[in-house]
Amino acid sequence: MDRWQVSRRYTRRSSPAVPMPMTPTPRPVRRSLPWLLAGLSMIGPFSIDAVFPAFPLIGERFGVDSTGLQQLISMYLITYAVMSLFHGAISDAIGRKPVIVTGMLVYALASAGAAMSTSYGMLLTCRSMQGVCAGAGLVVGRAIVRDSLEGAAAQQLMSRVMMIFSVAPVIAPIVGAQLLFLNGWHGIFWVLMGFTLVIAVALVLFLEETHPPAARTPFNASTLIRGYVSFGRDRPFWPLLLSCTVNFAGLFLYIASAPHIIRDLLHLSAQGFPWLFLPTVAGLMIGAWLSGRMAHRRSVTYTVNLGYSAMLLACGLHLLIALVTSEPVLPWSMLPLVLHGIGIQLAFPTLTLLLLDRFPQRRGGASSVQAFCSLLLCAIVAGVLSPLLSGHMVYLALGASLLTLVGWVAWRWYQRLTTQPRVPHTAMAEVEVECQTEITEPR
């Protein structure tokens, strides 16, 4: 028995059972892939934010008050969240490309129906259909990244996608407001239809299938339930899921509270929204760029730890500024959003890839669960936490700090579960003595 065999036997006895990720077959990745995936991920923010400027016109056209108009968002988010549980599992069964292309084509059809709606009920139905299909791009797109690349290369591609995606929440309301001059509120939905048709054609021409038939799993109720049960039985899956889900929630609390922050706390008009959104987007873009640069230079642990350090520091600065100043002061009260955005984008791509690698055969399903949990938490943040905490910057800072701390604790929990135990020095010495004895003694 040689030393390698002894060490291997010792490792097998002491190491926790961790599923080994499948190594994807090396394949060249087209330069168009980041742009295709970024375009897919932008559909969600555009579907929500671009419609906001049209609320008064839609309400006037169908005689709906502000409470009724909120259903345009809630119906979209409900169907988006529910279907996000199935997009990944379906793509695990029939392949990534058919799911995304079909989703974009149906989304385009729903957008055309919304543009031609003759009643508010018809408009809500079309919005629901948009939500059913919009999540296909985001959920399945993450699985495509991990199908195509591994390690630092996958982190780099995910970071590039997120850097492009970060622009969408800011430009969507601006684009929507300009489209009102084109054809009223109808123009917004016509442009959404055209955009998704272009994406669908580009997917047909340039996207290669990344999930081969040999790796697919059947899609039926029992298989779906077994897949989700297997997620729950994997202990490291839970802290990763929690950390991924809470990662963005602290910053989203400020985004969801933007109307109160701008109008009630900063006493600005609607033209003052860039004071909040521009620092946020700047931080997200810088963080995504840094994550891509660090992919080949730093370890996974270093990158995520640095991300959480930046987020916690931003929360501390928010709280300090809010306590020192009786009212928020520009630009200082908004500047920590830059640091918070940087931290999110440093941590999120790596956390997502670690989550998907827990189940190499069911990456689509794992992405579905993560997307559903994130949407559910964002709905709670926007509907419950934001109304409760947006009256004062101190409350917002405390809420964001608590959410960020939960994510950091979950990350530390994952590290404790997956860290390989070190072989004690005395044990290694005994192994070396045993090996030397076996080598020197005649058989």
Burial of residue 164 (CB within 10 Å: 0-12, 13-18, 19+) is middle
Taking the C-alpha atoms of residue 175 and residue 190, their distance in angstroms, rounded to an integer, is: 13
Q: What is the pTM of this model?
A: 0.69
Residue 361 pLDDT > 50: yes
List C-alpha distances in Å: 216 to 19, 146, 220, 376.
18, 15, 13, 28
Proportion of the chain above pLDDT 90, given as a percent: 25
Residue 30: pLDDT band (50, 70, 90) is low
Give me the architecture of the 234-443 domain, per CATH. Answer: Up-down Bundle (1.20)
Taking the C-alpha atoms of residue 166 and residue 280, their distance in angstroms, rounded to an integer, is: 9
Average pLDDT over residues 256-267: 81
Average pLDDT over residues 289-318: 89
- Asked which of 12-21, 156-165, 330-339, 392-401 is least confident by mean pLDDT, the reply is 12-21
HSE on the CB side for 258, CA within 13 Å? 20
Proportion of the chain above pLDDT 70, given as a percent: 85
Residue 342 pLDDT > 90: yes
- Alpha helix (H) residue ranges in 207-299: 221-233, 237-247, 249-256, 258-259, 274-294
The listed range with the strongest mean pLDDT (8-12, 62-66, 413-417) is 413-417
Model pLDDT, residue 421: 52
- Alpha helix (H) residue ranges in 15-51: 33-49
Within 8 A by CB and 6+ apart from 166, the residues are 281, 284, 285, 288, 341, 345
CATH number for the domain formed by residue range(s) 32-210: 1.20.1250.20
| pLDDT tens track for 85-107 | 888 778 888 888 999 999 999 99
Taking the C-alpha atoms of residue 85 and residue 39, their distance in angstroms, rounded to an integer, is: 21
The listed range with the strongest mean pLDDT (66-70, 253-257, 316-320, 331-335) is 316-320
400 or 148, higher pLDDT? 400
Model pLDDT, residue 170: 65
| pLDDT tens track for 103-136 | 999 999 999 999 999 999 999 999 999 988 888 8
Cross-strand partners of 185? 183
- Ranges of each domain in the chain: 32-210, 234-443
User: Same CATH topology for 32-210 and 234-443?
Assistant: yes
Matching residue, tokens 């809010």:
322
| pLDDT tens track for 210-258 | 888 888 877 777 777 777 788 878 888 899 999 988 888 888 888 878 7
